[in-house]
Structure 1
């Protein structure tokens, strides 16, 4: 068996147990040389499902509650925050040019320059690799192979999505690979749009690729782009923001579904088998309305500027734990302590169940911020009280700094997952409207 086939036969790194991809030659977490062993995957491992770890087995006696239906033509009246909301405390493509990447040095810093033939010795000319050869950012000596690994030390080279930050006037977002994953499978998009009355609306879309699926990073990126485009088409036309949110989730689902039909997916799996997938959460904030939409277990929180007032969670997880609680089979503490807690029951993807977008609108009675995030953050600040404590007091005035603090909190807590967060102040400042 060739070294490549040995590496492909493993599902986790023998050294640190980090999940591996089929073509990995080195572990992206610890740099372990996968060609040095032919260790097979752990025996008895279940077939990958819609969880980053394992697919849970449903108890035979459970009768799952039906998901609520949304009549998109008859939208419910907005809920007034915070008093009326009974929240629960349960637990490789092109990117926009204005996204800032804080992490790896520029490629040019680690590219070899050709020696000057007028001054170089014959030995130097013979031993110098071709001009433009990329050097490892870790050892600064080894050459980087086409797969992005150092041929000397095996270190995985940083990708452009490893750490991303973006800030507009009234919204900011930060995304980080975390400390355990070998790539960032999250994606976000933030923007502003002009409404027909001349006021501004601010949009944030955050998606979390399902790690056990094919091409999770492409799925999250496709979903954020499609949803943002749909919102920017609907809002200026005067479409109610909650209806626009519903349409954006449908557009995101169609974009992710399309990935299952592409040749790149077919090379790994048949269409609709372990298809590209992601979760979804988004928010639209105007001068008087707050709208959220979601599928999966990415969340939105409301934190008022007055920290004496109660905060709230605006979304309900599509997860095993949430269904156990809703069915009355477990308490929240019991459900979220179970190893199956984070297995999701709803997602965007060609192999998902029937798409049932969740949307809700609110009319907060005081200023505050909306925190839109993946589980890479809320795993370390699960309850609304914890989220409010971690969020800086000046979040409405400094959304980028606040997003940075929240991501830092997740990394300090262990950073076991990709972490992405957007912070949207409410109400939206009406100094101007546009798109970005």
Structure 2
């Protein structure tokens, strides 16, 4: 089990360096406005690998193409899962306390346990829009093991609600696999993911994963993450076989995902969702594309991609930079990384997809590793329990490249064993992308 970070020393005012209390809006010594968030760090990768470049991997990539419309794709090549975590997991500001511009805080902490939930009917929709037969209702109640479960998902004997299908989801597609779990503390899973594989114009394989984390303080965060992951997966699987450069395709996919989440805000709210203080649906996104010689990552928010080389002597690395309060404090030189991530504001996000997003700035980066390894694409439901690249590499199974589904299960299990305070979603992609049928779960 990973140890939680210790409480950091009191932060200092960036103007006069006097100590300030957590939650202060102004410095008591000089009056400096402490709610102003530093400018976001420039978009750049956290790792320079041998041969790192944005040019490609031997494929004759053309110039970036216009945004694709995202046509219907064969379901056999794309598996999208529905599941959730809250992007943050930290308390909202106190009543009457304004948040800094462009910063989104999450809801207060939830109870230790929630009862089992009724099935989620939305989990039966296919990625490409085609109907998929809904799972048969449980014949025997999971609580009393005697009663019959009715069509609404409740036991006719004891009245206990049955688990949602979305509470735990697993998918694999060729060489990539992903697992998502509700966790132990949240009442629903608000993550979603898409995994898929395809072939580039030169006949070489490519695999992809998209992971989205619903913002719990928003309305319908589960719908937001589902819409974003599906659209981004569709765009990538449509663009890569056409010859679009993977980095351009990733940017295109994130922009399209943002538009899909924005569209949710235009839908009429139900009576259950109506609130004069509701926020627009929102989520974060992170994705990765792996080919025979190139890997590309893209993100908005605080979900991450880790590089774990197969060679135990080679250093692992984190390939993404968080759009978060903590990351901006570190980038501005106001706190050390240990201090920033120990602060209660650490997970307040400064970038997300949604109609009320402060600004959409998709980040992308490409790398050409000089050795084989795996990518771990995950929400903070996992990396909260293995934050550094070294910690992550220690929990990734040594056979992850050939058993991605098993490895994703192990990583989710690590988060649950650590406390499961958040929804957790993990995708595992081997590099280089192996030919179809070269891996097994």
Same fold (TM over 0.5): yes
How far residue 109 of structure 1 moved from its aligned partner, in angstroms, is: 2.1
How far residue 263 of structure 1 moved from its aligned partner, in angstroms, is: 1.6
Distance in 1, Cα, partners of 2:288 & 2:256: 15
How far residue 139 of structure 1 moved from its aligned partner, in angstroms, is: 2.0
Distance 1:56 1:289, change over 3 A: farther
1:205-253 Cα offsets, whole Å, 9 max, x none, are: 0001111111111111000011011112211221110010000000000
Instruction: Choose which of 209, 213, 230 in structure 2 pairs with 1:204.
Output: 209
Distance 1:236 1:272, change over 3 A: farther
Partner of 1:283: 288
Q: How many residues align?
A: 337
Contact kept? 1:370, 1:424, Cα under 8 Å: yes
Matched, 1:66 2:44: no
Matched, 1:408 2:419: no
Partner of 2:249: 244
Instruction: Choose which of 224, 228, 240 in structure 1 pairs with 2:229.
Output: 224
How far residue 183 of structure 1 moved from its aligned partner, in angstroms, is: 1.2
1:159-213 Cα offsets, whole Å, 9 max, x none, are: 1111111122311111111111111111111001221111111010000111111
Larger Rg: 1
Identify which range, 214-223 or 266-275, moves more after superposition. Answer: 266-275
Partner of 1:319: 324
Distance in 1, Cα, partners of 2:426 & 2:292: 22
Instruction: Choose which of 281, 296, 316 in structure 1 pairs with 2:301.
Output: 296
Distance 1:269 1:231, change over 3 A: same
Instruction: Choose which of 394, 398, 408 in structure 1 pairs with 2:403.
Output: 398
Matched, 1:81 2:49: yes
Instruction: Choose which of 126, 140, 144 in structure 2 pairs with 1:139.
Output: 144
Partner of 2:199: 194
Distance in 1, Cα, partners of 2:417 & 2:211: 22
1:294-338 Cα offsets, whole Å, 9 max, x none, are: 111100000000111000000011111111111111111111111
Higher relative contact order (CA 8 A, sep 6+): 2
How far residue 143 of structure 1 moved from its aligned partner, in angstroms, is: 7.0
SS of aligned partner of 1:356 = coil
Structure 1-normalised TM-score? 0.71
Partner of 1:94: 124
Within-5 A mapping of 1:257-276: 257-264=262-269, 268-269=273-274, 273-276=278-281
Distance 1:320 1:97, change over 3 A: closer
Contact kept? 1:259, 1:265, Cα under 8 Å: no
Distance in 1, Cα, partners of 2:316 & 2:236: 27
Distance in 2, Cα, partners of 1:385 & 1:376: 17
- Gap runs ≥5 in structure 2: 1-21, 27-32, 54-121, 129-134
Distance in 2, Cα, partners of 1:172 & 1:57: 44
Distance 1:63 1:181, change over 3 A: closer
For the aligned residues, what is the CA RMSD? 3.1
Partner of 1:388: 393
Structure 2-normalised TM-score? 0.70
Distance in 1, Cα, partners of 2:351 & 2:179: 25
1:112-148 Cα offsets, whole Å, 9 max, x none, are: xxxxxxxxxxxxxxxxxxxxxxxx4212456768875
Matched, 1:107 2:137: yes
- Gap runs ≥5 in structure 1: 1-54, 71-75, 86-91, 99-104, 111-135
Distance 1:222 1:56, change over 3 A: farther
